[in-house]
Amino acid sequence: MAEHNILLDAAANELEVIEFYLTEVMEDGTEYSSYFGMNVAKVLEIIRLPRSITSMPNHHHPAALGTFNLRDRVLPLVDLGVWLGKKTRDTAERKVIVSEFSEIVTAFIVTGVTNIHRISWSQVEPPGKYLQTLSHDSITGVVHFDGRIVFLLDMEMIIASMNPSLGMEHRIKNMEQSDTGRGHKVLVADDSTSIRRVITHVLEQGGYTVSQANSGKEAWSQIEKWKQAVRDSGGSIKDYLDLVVSDIEMPEMDGHALTKRIKADPDLRGVPVVLFSSLISDVVREQGVKAGADDQLSKPDLPGLAVRVKALIDKNAQ
């Protein structure tokens, strides 16, 4: 399934979205379907609902139904409708999306799967604050398809909410703190509020001054403001920016497109860019290289990110 993404151009600002739906039973007995999506690059396969599911202890999240065996591999099974607070019908026709991201394989139960769409990140609108609050920050983007709205879900956040040990917040508890970044400025671009907050915390603990953006477009807009400030008052872009840490999946402009813009600009090409994403695979890494990224790292390796950021800034200062 993930091989679809091989055809995508790293500089084209494109992604493929697999669309699925959850059919909710309303209080009056009628049914209502909500449509959601996730990046095809995170999908391993789509299967029928397993017949045999091993239940989990009661202290687990109610959406964690248990585990099942898929070709001699035991996988956790999550009822996405339960997590989203929807009352869906318990039918054997439901589908299971087996996904992998951040080196974690998880299976999600959905009512059904509709299609795969190839779109530009410019078609993905960032969710408003009300929608973010209503969805507990689980929606990272909104797309309009054929008169219906499709919500892109933050699957990493959903998994971390049920098992905090898999979340990025857990990874920073035992990190050694240093002050080596003092005097240096980093821009962090990530559409996940929680992940952006954790990355910022780690870098600020290391002494860095951190600016934040919730998309590649917002990051580029901020960089252009800094470029204008340099033109107006003289100096160097380094007065405002020493390095960029960027996610790949972001509304409006993805990390590959942002990286290419930075590296194509004579005033910015010396600014190091680190792509920090749950999607780093051999194919995606090659896309990052073509876009001009100086380094690439898989989430949730925060200690590794801190090391890479320092190394690139030290190298650039020589």
Would you say residue 166 has pLDDT above 80? no
Summarised one tens digit per residue, pLDDT across range 55-73 is 877 667 888 889 999 998 9
Lowest mean per-residue pLDDT among 103-117, 159-173, 233-247, 280-294: 159-173
Summarised one tens digit per residue, pLDDT across range 212-252 is 999 999 999 999 999 999 999 888 999 999 999 999 988 88
- The CATH code of domain 2-164 reads 2.40.50.180
Dmax over CA atoms of the chain, in Å, equals: 69
What end-to-end distance do the CA atoms of the chain give, in Å? 44
Would you say residue 5 has pLDDT above 50? no
Q: Give residue 153's identity as a one-letter amino acid code.
A: L
Domain boundaries, the chain: 2-164, 175-317
**From CA 193, how far away is CA 298, in angstroms rounded?**
18
Residue 17: beta bridge partners? Answer: 39, 117
Q: What is the architecture, at CATH level 2, of domain 175-317? A: 3-Layer(aba) Sandwich (3.40)
Q: If you average pLDDT over every residue of the chain, what do you get? A: 86
**From CA 175, how far away is CA 307, in angstroms rounded?**
11
Take residue 92 and report the two structure tokens written for it.
């054997």
The predicted structure's pLDDT at residue 2: 44
Q: Rounded to 5, what percent of the chain is helix, strand, coil?
A: 35, 30, 35
Q: Region 161-190: what's the mean pLDDT?
A: 69
Q: Region 68-82: what's the mean pLDDT?
A: 92
